[in-house]
Amino acid sequence: MAASSSSASSLQWGKIGVSSQLEVREREAWGRGVYAATALSTGLEVMRAEPLVHVLSNDVRGQLCDFCLRESQSLLKCGRCKYVRYCSKTCQRGDWRFHKGECGGIARAQPHSPTPLARLVVRCLLVDAEEETQRATEFLCSNEDKLSLEVKEDAATLMVCVRLLLENPETSAMRRAYTLLCKALCNTFTIHGSGLDPIGAGIYVGPSLLNHSCRPNCVAVFNGTSMTVRTIEPVQQGHQLL
């Protein structure tokens, strides 16, 4: 028995950038998914999203700005950790909202580089702390209760990195960090540069509602950190975007 819609529609989907041409529904076979509310033509932009949190890939560190992910010949290092680098003061200020939670931890861990996924979790903790109700992270699915042994082992290793990044974390913060890590494990997008090379990782709340298919009908493209989702074939009304 498929429920065509549910309480999901009562959430503030506008907040996470899902256009009016789309509907978010819960269906038993798929769980939560995004469906075409009207017929969609090929090449139509159906989602536009900025990352909730993002980090630069360790492979391109020193070539691109840590905040806007654009190339720059003259990157300015963070004076404290000397790890993150920015193309401008504006980018440094823009990133401080997220970087303040990891800067001390990164400085202490030198010369080791923190794992990008652990940094995303620490950044999510900060974003959560800013939002008392209807946190954006609540929109992200988590398979916390269904993790395989292998994934649980990876998660345990990543939690060691999260603990290193946080200064004297309380037990409640570590518990929350584990939940966020489980969400990050199934909702992190690789950010691609103009040459389609991976340059970063980010969590995009609206696009994370899309279910995965090996035969997708839409595709995510990046301009810096901004993500656009476009259809690559016509999608009939009521059909799922994948």
Residues that bind Zn ion (CB under 5 A): 65, 67-68, 78, 80-81, 87, 91, 103
Q: Least distance from C-beta 91 to Zn ion, angstroms?
A: 3
What's the Cα-to-Cα distance from 227 to each of 118, 176, 221, rounded to whole Å? 22, 27, 6
Beta carbon nearer to Zn ion, 96 or 192: 96
Beta carbon nearer to Zn ion, 46 or 78: 78
Q: Least distance from C-beta 43 to Zn ion, angstroms?
A: 29
Beta carbon nearer to Zn ion, 8 or 109: 109
Beta carbon nearer to Zn ion, 8 or 60: 60
Q: Least distance from C-beta 194 to Zn ion, angstroms?
A: 15
Place of tokens 């603990």: 163
In whole angstroms, what is the distance from residue 53 CA to residue 184 CA? Answer: 10
Q: Least distance from C-beta 107 to Zn ion, angstroms?
A: 7
Angle (CA) 88-92-94 rounded to 5° is: 110
Contact 227, 48 (CB under 8 A): yes
In whole angstroms, what is the distance from residue 22 CA to residue 45 CA? Answer: 11
- Closest by CA position to 202, among listed 219, 220, 180, 187: 187
Beta carbon nearer to Zn ion, 107 or 232: 107
Q: Least distance from C-beta 81 to Zn ion, angstroms?
A: 3
69: left (phi over 0), alpha (psi -120 to 50) or beta: left
Beta carbon nearer to Zn ion, 68 or 177: 68
- Retrieve residue 6's tokens: 């549910």
Q: Least distance from C-beta 61 to Zn ion, angstroms?
A: 13
In whole angstroms, what is the distance from residue 32 CA to residue 20 CA? Answer: 17
Neighbouring C-beta atoms of residue 12, cutoff 10 Å: 9
What φ, ψ does residue 129 adopt, rounded to 5°? -65, -25
Q: Least distance from C-beta 94 to Zn ion, angstroms?
A: 8
Beta carbon nearer to Zn ion, 91 or 181: 91
E strand segments, 70-179? 76-77, 85-86
